[in-house]
Structure 1
Amino acid sequence: MESYSQNSNKLDFQHEARILNGIWLITALGLVATAGLAWGAKYLEITATKYDSPPMYVAIGLLLLCMYGLSKDINKINAAIAGVIYLFLLSLVAIVVASLVPVYAIIIVFSTAGAMFLISMLAGLLFNVDPGSHRFIIMMTLTGLALVIIVNAALMSERPIWVISCLMIVLWSGIISHGRNKLLELAGKCHSEELWSPVRCAV
């Protein structure tokens, strides 16, 4: 009986770890996609020309509204709606940052952060590190900072890009550390739900 319980707990852990790794992968792809969308927005001139222009206020307002709604009703969202909202959020973020920062800086900063999630996820799988543990978050942060140093040194980036890149890594690490318990709770709940349930799809 005890052996069965241990096997069951191990399977639960593996499923939850797989879900968390999926979240890291989606986050990595989202960050890289944001950089691509920002380049597209700049190329197509879908950006606000001034910081205090109406399009900028509208974009930021919609972004905040979507994020608030997503955090309140995440359990009621199905796969299609979750996907649309995710793409909409990425597009809004891309438009806002493309209006504030040069595109090459956006590509460096967001791609580096995306690579941090991807490499950390792969390293976690390779070395069997719990993707929801403090150890994993520390590993992710160190990986991100190492990538910042390597990429910016190779490209001989200006000091502001170094600073923004470091802040981006620290910001994401802080968000994950702060929301770690919520992520673990969602991963556990997601595992117990049906494959196409709103919770599973939204996570």
Structure 2
Amino acid sequence: MRLLLVLACFLAACLANPHPCYTPPLLTGALTLSTQNEELWVFAKYLYDGIGQRLRVFELVNYKNQSLTVDLLLLYREAAAYDIKDRNHTCAKYPLKQHFQPWHVPKDATLLGPAILGSSSGPGEGLLVNTWMGDLPDKTGKYIATVTEFGCIPVSTSYQTKEYGWVVTSLFDNVKGITNPSLLDPPDFCTNAVTSEEPVDFISLLHKNTR
């Protein structure tokens, strides 16, 4: 009984004082992404490697009611991005102008508050999350990030851009780990890809597939 009381007090203290946390370094899952100007909407699977600073996103993009399939690999340490065309085994390579942003909550983030997604009416009906806000690293705008209280799993992120307004990403079906790490390496047919002179970031690379 005393142990249960101690555990209850410890849990209450944790819930009363959320703190910035670290997201698992390897994640697999799915996401949706949309821009405030309503031009771009994405439903995709993703592979996230926070250790090697790599991200692969592949599946469906909807741009101005036109559906497209994309496969993008971003290697932040090499400052390189690949636009992969699996059907014809071609690959376009671009210099990556965007620095890697880990998915964890920065230490200087400000807590907006905890919340329950779903319902608190019964066991298993809700998910406890914390929402944080802060300045983007380049000080060009704000970000808002929501993560689970337990596990620090990302639920949603929003950040400001000059070109597209707010960019909103929701993540789901998240699983810790990556079953096939080779998917975070460029395919063999990308070896001789010529690097374009035009630098890109993730959003601008998505837009290139809609032109």
TM over 0.5: no
Larger helix proportion of the pair? 1
With a CA cutoff of 8 Å and minimum separation of 6, indicate the structure with the bigger relative contact order.
1
